[in-house]
Structure 1
């Protein structure tokens, strides 16, 4: 009887040992799989980062170019914080806290001066890029716009402005033109990010469809209103009460900025990248101002040309002074002076003088 009891204890102990050993082995393989998966995701993220850096750099050098790019299925996050931006009054090399990152891998690429307009989050296996030059009135830089196949753009309006903006918008995006009475019936169509672009109607009285509300987070539903007569953009966010509320408004100089607002998820993101653009505008306009002053003071400059080089009259001084900080009143000042500068530059051409820009 004692022998039988001892054997039973040994059998029980053996089973306990087997279970413990099996558990340890199982945990080892689970950890191994997890580690390999993490390594694989990290390798993919590093590959995507390298490819995107090359693509984005190349895209910014090409004007009016559209590209659709296949990438491994992943999430891209874009950040640009206006409150972190510095300008030429604060630094010789102004910048903003700005980056794009790949999923939750921790892999990111800093973009302190690169001007990129994109949703805060993109998910999928394809991204679309588009570039437009920014001329004020001289060439300053290219704006790079980025989006994905999971973003739906709904242009709401029936005016010529609505049609023009819709027609110029990249063909391969999920873009739709709707009249104000049909837009509230818009379906999700499998998308999770929605941008409404208004022209003729008030976003605060607009009703978003229940289907879109049920599928998207409020942060992924936003709107802008573009008033082409006053050249003003109004930014709206979507509330928990399922209505659009005005966040802020700003004037714009060119259509490139209006498209930038369409691609941006928030006013903060838009302002951040426009501050980068203003930093570049300030740098280039300062160089042009020096050149214009030099031509004005050069004794060999023909008298017929001198008037066009007067920086106090040709608009350059005002552009330099108002391009330090991205601010609405500065935009209005630059807008008027840009027209003056354009006329002065045309005059130099007609008088066979050296061009201002």
Structure 2
């Protein structure tokens, strides 16, 4: 469903991608359920902050318009499996929390995709502001954040495809105003840092912004990648909320990520890259499969796109991975078995690893 893509309920430090890596690597599992409070306690012990841990767990599921790395029972969703596969491949099992906040290119591409899906509307508004100005003060952004939130809600009301969704978004907007607890519907100044700082911290960790201090003022500056301003490039690619939603609907973020990071990738070719795709797919499958050999197809598709773009600078589309599977199934039907989810949709795969 179309909804304003930004996270409202958060806390300074809580949106840093490293928190979610720690959550996956150290506090949860693919099949063991926990109460959220148990996971929160484990995470708080690891990172040393109960308040940050509370919000990380809160927005790790799809509740509160969150990322969806975890299911409600605190086991990994398919996105959680992707993050785990990335961490496992990199050998990130450290007990040192700082290791998880220093992101490799592989991690940045993975998290960029999921941040655009979850925080895309807010990132797009930041991109609009940084398209003309290469640096902006924290105080300016802090004072603008309420206007930005309101513009996002108004923009999504305009593009809502039907009356029901339009009314639902309007109700979200009213709820935001009710939470301000004053007649003018203005955020209290003491809450503003928690409204803006978490999002800026995440963009810094993802390599899109950097922060410097001048005369007690924080200044956020765009990080240039191969002469490309990533936020200006992102704004040119997405332009508006409608186009953002179309990119989400079509799972079309990898070419955009390749452009904003200045990668200039080579497009996938069956003739040149099919064996490499097979190796990558099997690496992900072995990492993700459960005890009966089932692995989530969506997770494997994202894994292939992320790893090939990061390590081989090859741009592969989700449909390329599906065509690869269709080809194998056509010529070796017994090598692949599909399984449906609870809604009757094909979602899982079992690969016969004796097939070469």
TM-score (norm 1): 0.26
Q: Which has the higher contact order (CA 8 A, sep 6+)?
A: 2
Q: Which has the larger radius of gyration?
A: 1
Whose helix fraction is larger, Structure 1's or Structure 2's?
A: 2
TM-score (norm 2): 0.26
